[in-house]
Amino acid sequence: MRIPDVSFFDSFIKYDRLRERDLKKYTDQLASGKKILSPSDNTVDTVRSLRLSNIADDLNIYRKNIDIVKSTLETAEGALSSAIDAMQETKVELIRLHNTGVLDYEDAQIVKDFLVSMRDYVIDMANTKVGDSYIFAGVRNQSAPFDASGVYSGATQESKVLISKGVETSNNFSGKDYFGVNEISNKITVVEVIDRVIDIIDSGDLSRLNTETIALTINGQSYGNVKLLEAFDIGLSEIAKHRSKIGSDMNVIDNIYQQHLEIEVNVNELKSKLEDADYAFAISELEKARTAYEALLSSIAQNKDLSLLKFIK
C-alpha cells in the first residue's frame, strides 16, 4: 500500500510557500535596502516609523517657516537700524538748532531741507517691503502702512507662524508699535517732532523751539505735554527698543533652528534603525532560507515514492 501522494503534495506546497516567502523577503531587503517592505512585516515598527515621519515632516515645515521669518526679521532689523541712524544724525542737528538757531534765511533752508530728507527717509523705512508685503503693516500688509506725512493706517494685529511645537513668532509687525506712533496724532513721533521744527523754522520764531510741546501717548503710555527734544527722544527710544526685541527674537529663532537640526538627525537615525535593512543579518537569513528550501526539495524527492511494502521484511 503506497503512502498517498496527496499528503506529500500538501506538505510540499505548505513548506514551499514558507521557504519562498523567506527567500523573497530577504532578497527584497537586500535589493531595496529596506527592512520593512510592507506594514505586515512589522506592524509595531511601521507605526513607529510613521510617527517619526510625521515628526520629520513637522520639522521640515518649522524650518521653512523659520527661513521665511528670519528673512523678514533681518529686513525689519535693517530698516529700524537705518531709521535709528538717520534720527541720531537728526538729533544732533536739532540740538544744534536749539542752541544756536540759524544765522540767516539760506542757513534756515539748508537745515529745513536736511530735516525734510530725514523725515521722508524714516517714512520710507517704515514702509519697507519683503516681496509684495509691507512688513510694518501688521496683517494688513498689502498696502503701505504710513502715508507721506507719517500717519499710520496699518493694522495693529500681527500674523503668526509656527516655528516649533507650541511656539509662534510674528511674520509681520505693527508699525504703530515699532516706529513709536503717537496715539493722539496717529503719526510717527519723531516725524511729528521734525514737522513741528520745520513749521517753527518757516515761522522765523526760533524761540518756540524751547517752549513748543506735544501731547504724547505711545503704546498706551501717556507722557502728557512734553517739549520737542524730549518727545523726539521718547519716540527714538521706542524704535530702538523694538529693534532690540527683533534682535532677541532672531537669537531665539537661531537656537530653535539648531535644536530642529539636532532633533532631525536623531529622528533620521531612529528611522534608519527601524526601516533600513541589516545587510549582514539579511544575508545570513537568506542563506538559511536557501538551505532550508534545498533541504525541502531533497526531502520531497527522496520520499515521494515511499511505499509501506518496502518496509515489510
Query: Domain count of the chain?
Result: 1
Tell whether 234 is covered by a domain.
yes
Domain membership flag for residue 167 = yes
Closest by Cα among 263, 240, 257 to 190: 240
Residue 47 lies in a domain: no
pLDDT score for 238: 95
Range of the domain at 213: 55-267
Q: Is 189 inside a domain boundary? A: yes
283 falls within a domain: no
The answer to whether position 8 is within a domain reads no
Q: Is residue 39 part of a domain?
A: no
Residues 6+ apart with CB under 8 A from 312: none
Three-state secondary structure readout of 24-91: HHHHHHHHHCECCCCHHHCHHHHHHHHHHHHHHHHHHHHHHHHHHHHHHHHHHHHHHHHHHHHHHHHH
CATH of the domain at 228: 1.20.1330.10
Q: Report the candidate in 170, 136, 166, 168 with the shortest Cα–Cα distance to residue 153.
A: 136
Tell me, yes or no, whether 86 lies in a domain. yes
Residues 6 or more apart whose Cβ sits within 8 Å of residue 186: 151, 152
The closest alpha carbon to 276, from 48, 33, 98, belongs to 33
Instruction: List per-residue pLDDT tens for the chain, 313 residues long.
Output: 445 555 555 555 555 565 566 556 656 656 666 666 565 556 766 677 778 788 888 888 888 899 889 999 999 999 999 999 999 999 999 988 888 766 677 788 888 999 999 999 999 999 999 988 999 999 998 999 999 999 999 999 998 989 888 888 888 999 999 999 999 999 999 999 999 999 998 888 888 888 999 999 999 999 999 999 999 999 999 999 999 999 999 998 999 988 888 888 888 777 777 665 555 555 665 566 566 555 655 665 555 555 544 444 4
| Three-state secondary structure call for residue 237 | helix
Q: What is the pLDDT of residue 135?
A: 95
User: How far apart, in whole angstroms, are the C-alpha atoms of residue 55 and residue 275?
Assistant: 16
